[in-house]
Amino acid sequence: MAKRHSRKNDPAQRFLFPGLNVNPRGKRRFSEKQKQQMAVLYLSGKTLGAVADAFRASVYGVYYILHRRGIRIRTVAEASRNAIWTEEGRERQRQARQGKRSAAFRRKMSAAAKDRGKSHNWFVDGNGKERDTIRKQEMDRFEYRLWREAVFQRDNFTCQACGKHGGYLHADHIASWHNFPELRYEVSNGRTLCVPCHHKTPSWGRHGKRVKV
């Protein structure tokens, strides 16, 4: 029967971490002094990850050691409250929670996604644009998303037909998207409608191509 390999007999481990103390199963062994130092670090406000990095241990290993010593582990909310945040960092977190990112940041991410090509997670065969309609391609553009958001914000996310606030909303083109291409990204040509009200408009869906100009 072959001898099971362990980090104790691994020359790479001895070279990278001289004096590394491991048991025959390859797991780290910490002295009582080291465990006490872990506890002191954690109680001083350090996170589990920071303590684990300091001792080249896993987060779960540190958690287990602290738990066995009767130390209460802080919740994620408590750890977040105790973290030291700059005002700039707080503002970034606030915007991220609200789903808001700057236009420059989103434009940069959009360009990066296009450049990834075949390495992109959603890449299929590169013929997606041939399968999509022209309207679908336009709606995927970054400019269209900015126009849609500008219409919603101007109307305070309220349906302009029935007055319903919030919910699932559509940004409708007052002058047909199909017949007036020069007005497609004019905020003044948009209005916020809820789904039922949008379905009642004469320009909804394919009907927009039959509206007389």
C-alpha torsion 128→131→137→141, nearest 10: -10
Of residues 160 and 11, more confidence is placed in 160
**What confidence score (pLDDT) does residue 129 get?**
64
DSSP assignment, residue 22? B
In sequence order, what E strands does 108-189 have?
Answer: 169-173
Alpha carbon distance 53, 47 (integer Å): 10
Beta strands in the chain (DSSP E): 169-173, 190-194
Instruction: Supply the pLDDT for residue 193.
Output: 94
The dihedral built from the CA positions of residue 166, 193, 185 and 209, taken in this order, carries a sign that is positive
Q: How confident is the model at residue 84 (pLDDT cuts 50, 70, 90)?
A: low
CA distances from 197 to 77, 179, 188 (A): 41, 21, 19
Domain range annotation of the chain: 7-82, 132-210
pLDDT band at residue 11 under the 50/70/90 scheme:
very low
Mean pLDDT of 68-89: 77
